[in-house]
Amino acid sequence: MARKIGVYVCHCGSNIAGRVDCPEVARFAGGLKNVAVSRDYQFMCSDPGQDMIIKDIRERGLDRVVVASCSPRLHEKTFQKACARAGLNPYLMQHCCIREHCSWVTPDKDEATLKAKHIVEAAVLRVGRHKELHSREVGVLPDVMVVGAGIAGIQAALDIAKSGHRVILVEKSPSIGGHMAQFDKTFPTLDCAACISTPKMVAVAQEPNIELLTWTEVEDVSGFVGNYTVTVRRKARYVREDICTGCGACLEKCPTKVVSEFEEGLSTRRAIYRNSPQAVPSTPVIDRDHCKMLTKGKCGACQKTCPTGAIDFTMQDRREVYHVGSVVLATGYDTMDPTPMREYGFGRYPEVYTALQFERLNNAVGPTGGKILMKSGEAPKSVAIIHCVGSRDRNYHEYCSRTCCMYALKYDHLIKDKVGHGCEVYNFYIDMRCFGKGYEEFYRRVQDEGVTFVRGRPAEVVQENGKLVVVGEDTLMGVHVRVPVDMVVLCTAMEARPDSTDVARIFGIAQGRDGFFLEEHPKLGPVSTASDGIYLAGTCQGPKDIPDAVAHASGGAAQALALAARGVVSISPTTSWINPDICVGCKVCIGLCPYSAIEFDERRHIAVINEAMCKGCGSCAGYCPSGAAQVKHFRQTQVFSEIDGMLDPLPDLLAPAAEISQTTAQA
């Protein structure tokens, strides 16, 4: 088995060369069997680096290539493409990692160099066993599904629809708009959230390319990039969307009052309800857990009132199936419930509010009609705003929620504006993080409005003589402070939705340790995921403010569109293969396959892989007692060779280089 292998060792500037003696590794590789050329270079991924490989393949007739540089997750495709440009099958290249797994984690230079040699030798031995593989192209379905219709999902759906592709927009709530629909003003410009989001919501409803499915949840996803089959459950609304005119007569007649989730528990709604008069769609929904007709079988007040006869108590949940090319996930965030933080008294003291509750107090269609009022009906004379509640806190969330500083400044301004300049406002902060466009300017403006900033996380909120007293330390002054106020607002952390684990499983993606969905790369792939054709948009990936969520969503939409516009996608050829000459027909692999991709050929009495359905997980290959089932590119001979290379007892580190290559050549 004579091969002509080219080995290319990358310095990655000083990232690798700082710890690994790259010229020495290249010299060592040059002495390995079948290696025709071995080089080291500053940056293999650069144009001159790739050209070096291409030139060698063309001029020296290399039939295998090994690149030792960063993680294959970063640049494997880069070098595969370079090989393809030179006319070499990309699967005859092995990319091995001597940066993330070697130079960056090994302090000792000699040890790092030895480890790099092992990694390179394993790759050289493995690549000798590689076989040509050809990826196949499959069509991409033109439709895109967007899950979640907050501002991110709306933006993604509108972007995609504008291109002419059909969008299926799924929302689990009765109406769209997400958290942004709860807000009053938005920082730093103070334009009202409704004024900027309502036109977008209406545009969604009127866009012919968007099929809007509210009160709907995704239950199952199967298939692969370009060809996903999504099963959704359309929850029974008990109001027929095709007949209802949204007049709202039913809402007044319903006798049952329920605490309103949309108003963050500050007021009640009826059992038949919609979040606001501006809700899109305007069709109400009946809460089946509270409706007297659905729970006890008597009432029907709404049905009697409805002028169009749209109320239908016999409605059932129904499942619908959609076939889409890709999915954009925009499932958003939740705010942390501060009840467990007993020191701040939320839930015990009536005048302690969460940020979202305060948002509703400010909202013109909120429980107080947009007036900042205490439960007594009077305006507060002093308000304390506590930043970082549950954020930047090891006991809750270590991360910064990125929005609280700015909305706290917005509240400062709104309190001064609505209650009057006599109202004292205290901000208890750790650091002010005003990083966006126009944010620092807004901070400056609010400071000039006479707001007090106290640096330090408060220890507790106590009630004394009918007042709330914020107890803490002003760390800039070095003094303990006790600030009596009428109202306390807690800037609660943004956190991943409680059901995000289920959502991640349904769509086959991962979560970060903070619970938010994990992107493919923290910097260069913030919208794509480990599953091809599943993209992220907005705060389901991490805390974001509105401009960032909208930009992220447009990014997700662009990725989905790129796939849909091209119309074809190449599918990795690294599927399983069952050698028909060896298979004994024991059928165990059929039961092991999670994708039902193995069928039994009764005539030949062997198992056969359906390559279109196989994803190359190797469940069959890991078991097969006769060794007939093998994953292409992870064949037994390939893995065995890699093991041999990794465990080759290399000679003493301090031996001269020439001797090393000689000994290895003999071995």
Partner 1 sequence: MNQDFEPAILAFVCNWCTYTAADLAGTSRMTQQPNVRLVRMMCTGMVDPKYVIKSLLSGADGVLISGCHPGDCHYQNGNYKARRRVRLLNEILSQFGIDRRRVRLTWVGASEGQEFAATVNNFINDLRELGPLDSRGLAAL
Which residues in this chain contact partner 1 in the complex, by CB under 8 A? 71-73, 97, 99-102, 104-108, 111-112, 114-115, 118-119, 122, 501, 504-505, 508, 510-513, 518, 530-531, 574, 592, 594, 615-619, 621-623, 631, 634, 636, 639-640, 642-644, 646-647, 649
**Pairwise CA distance, residues 401 & 515, whole Å:** 13
Q: Nearest distance from residue 495's CB to partner 1, in Å? A: 15
Q: Which is nearer to partner 1, 426 or 507 (CB)?
A: 507
Q: Which is nearer to partner 1, 167 or 621 (CB)?
A: 621
Q: Helix (H, G, I), strand (E, B), or coil: what is residue 119?
A: helix
The whole-angstrom distance between residue 277's C-alpha and the CA centroid of its chain comes to 32
**Pairwise CA distance, residues 151 & 181, whole Å:** 9
| Plot region of 178 (φ>0 → left; ψ -120 to 50 → alpha; else → beta) | left
**Pairwise CA distance, residues 622 & 203, whole Å:** 52
**Pairwise CA distance, residues 38 & 665, whole Å:** 14
Q: Which is nearer to partner 1, 460 or 644 (CB)?
A: 644
Q: Which is nearer to partner 1, 348 or 505 (CB)?
A: 505
Report the chain's terminal Cα–Cα distance, integer Å: 16
Q: Nearest distance from residue 67's CB to partner 1, in Å? A: 14
**Pairwise CA distance, residues 416 & 370, whole Å:** 14
Edge-first strand order for the sheet with 216-224 is 216-224, 227-234, 318-324
Q: Nearest distance from residue 179's CB to partner 1, in Å? A: 25
Q: Which is nearer to partner 1, 168 or 620 (CB)?
A: 620
Q: Which is nearer to partner 1, 484 or 526 (CB)?
A: 526
Q: Which is nearer to partner 1, 277 or 622 (CB)?
A: 622
Q: Nearest distance from residue 175's CB to partner 1, in Å? A: 32
Cα-based distances in Å from 76 to 44, 66, 67, 267, 314? 12, 11, 9, 56, 56
Q: Nearest distance from residue 625's CB to partner 1, in Å? A: 10
Q: Are 537 and 528 in contact (CB under 8 A)?
A: no
Residue with tokens 């970082």: 388
And the tokens for 634?
């992870």
Q: Which is nearer to partner 1, 435 or 623 (CB)?
A: 623
**Pairwise CA distance, residues 187 & 410, whole Å:** 6
Q: Nearest distance from residue 467's CB to partner 1, in Å? A: 44
CA torsion, points 49, 54, 58, 61, in degrees to nearest 10? Answer: 80
Q: Which is nearer to partner 1, 476 or 643 (CB)?
A: 643
**Residues whose CB is less than 8 angstroms from the CB of residue 8 and which lie 6 or more positions away in sequence, other chains included:** 38, 39, 40, 41, 44, 49, 52, 53, 65, 66, 67, 68, 69
Q: Nearest distance from residue 113's CB to partner 1, in Å? A: 10
Q: Nearest distance from residue 597's CB to partner 1, in Å? A: 11
Q: Nearest distance from residue 22's CB to partner 1, in Å? A: 17
